[in-house]
Amino acid sequence: MIDILAIAAHRDDVEQTCGGTLLNAAERGQKTAILDLTRGEMGTRGTAEDRAREAAEAAKLLKVSWRGALDIPDTRVENSYENRLKIARVIRMLRPRVIILPYWEARHPDHAKASPLGYEACFVAGLSKLDLSPVAPDSLSITVSANDQRPTTNDPFRPFKILYASLYAEVRPTFVVDITEQFETRLKSLLAYKSQYAQQQTGGELFVPEQEIRTRLETMARFYGLLAGVEFAEPFVQKEVGLVKDLTAIPVQSI
Ligand SMILES: [Zn+2]
């Protein structure tokens, strides 16, 4: 059983938007997982195999218990029934309490489409009359799997909570997660994608150098941290209203 599953279009998306939050959760004893929808075969730099190796390395840094990539074609993430079933199979297998999806508006069409696709997959996974075959081995490339994460059941299951990682969206977050302690490791997890981010020639005009990535990530994390009075944070949107038991325990100072 997994506590938090982050779903994203590409290997390295989670590292950019909610990697610190996953590491934070793992460090407090929760089990986390990442499902990448594509394998990166259309990337300008490196191959899908390079990216699988790098994704495993990044997952290790983020202390993730399970990481897999579906076989949805890179740059062609569609909200199709077939793709919903592929994700639903993984949701039934991992049975996460919380799912993190990309925010539904984004520059990259794969990111934007992954959001409703993931939401609808959560819905489909819970349909009691939908008899899904187990995950076909070829359709899922598993790069990290802790010993206790073997698939146990294919029974209907719906996650309790769906959150949206909104780092790159121009939207006010519902809440932020303090990742001050996790920031450096999260940065390392992104730089683990050496085929993408190491200083090199191929596609040089398309890619920013390492120092620029550090500055960019730090600026974003600092901005969201400032909103809540901590050093570094990652932002999230939830569609439901917040529920409070004790007014005196609400964090973030007003004045
Ligand atoms: Zn991406």
- DSSP symbols for 158-181: --SEEEEE-TTSSS--SEEEE-TT
Backbone Cα Rg of the chain:
18
Mean pLDDT to the nearest integer, 131-141: 86
Mean pLDDT value across the chain: 93
Residues, CB-to-ion distance under 5 Å, ligand 1: 10, 13
Copy the structure tokens of residue 229. Answer: 């009075």
Number of neighbours of residue 155 by Cβ within 10 angstroms:
10
- The candidate with the shortest Cα–Cα distance to 158, out of 196, 204, 123, 197, is 123
Separation of CA 70 and ligand 1 centre (Å): 14
d(CA 89, CA 135): 6
Q: 13: CA distance to ligand 1 center in Å?
A: 5
Return the structure tokens found at 69: 């990539």
Residue among 24, 11, 33, 12 nearest 176 (CA):
24
Is pLDDT of 148 > 90? no
Residue 201 has pLDDT above 80, yes or no: no
Q: Could you report the per-residue pLDDT of 76-101, keeping only the tens digit for each?
A: 999 999 999 999 999 999 999 999 99
CA of 46 to the centre of ligand 1 (A): 15
Distance 232 CA to ligand 1 centre (A): 22
- Say how many Å lie between the CA of residue 10 and the centre of ligand 1: 5
Task: Count CB atoms within 10 A of the CB of residue 128.
Answer: 7
pLDDT in tens, 15-33: 999 999 999 999 999 999 9
**Residue 68 Cα, ligand 1 centroid: separation in angstroms?**
16
Q: Mind giving me the DSSP string for 186-236?
A: HHHHHHT-HHHHSS-STTTTTS--HHHHHHHHHHHHHHHHHHHTSSSEEEE
pLDDT confidence band for 149 (50 / 70 / 90): low
Tell me the three-class secondary structure of 88-133, residue by residue.
HHHHHHHCCCEEEEECCCCCCHHHHHHHHHHHHHHHHHCCCCCCCC
Residue 41 contacts residue 48 (beta carbons within 8 Å)? yes
First to last CA, the chain: 41
Distance CA 231, CA 118 (A): 31
Q: Which helix (H) or strand (E) holds 33?
A: strand 32-36
| pLDDT value of position 151 | 56
Buried b (16+ CB within 10 A) or exposed e, 231-248: ebbbbbbeeeeeeeeeee
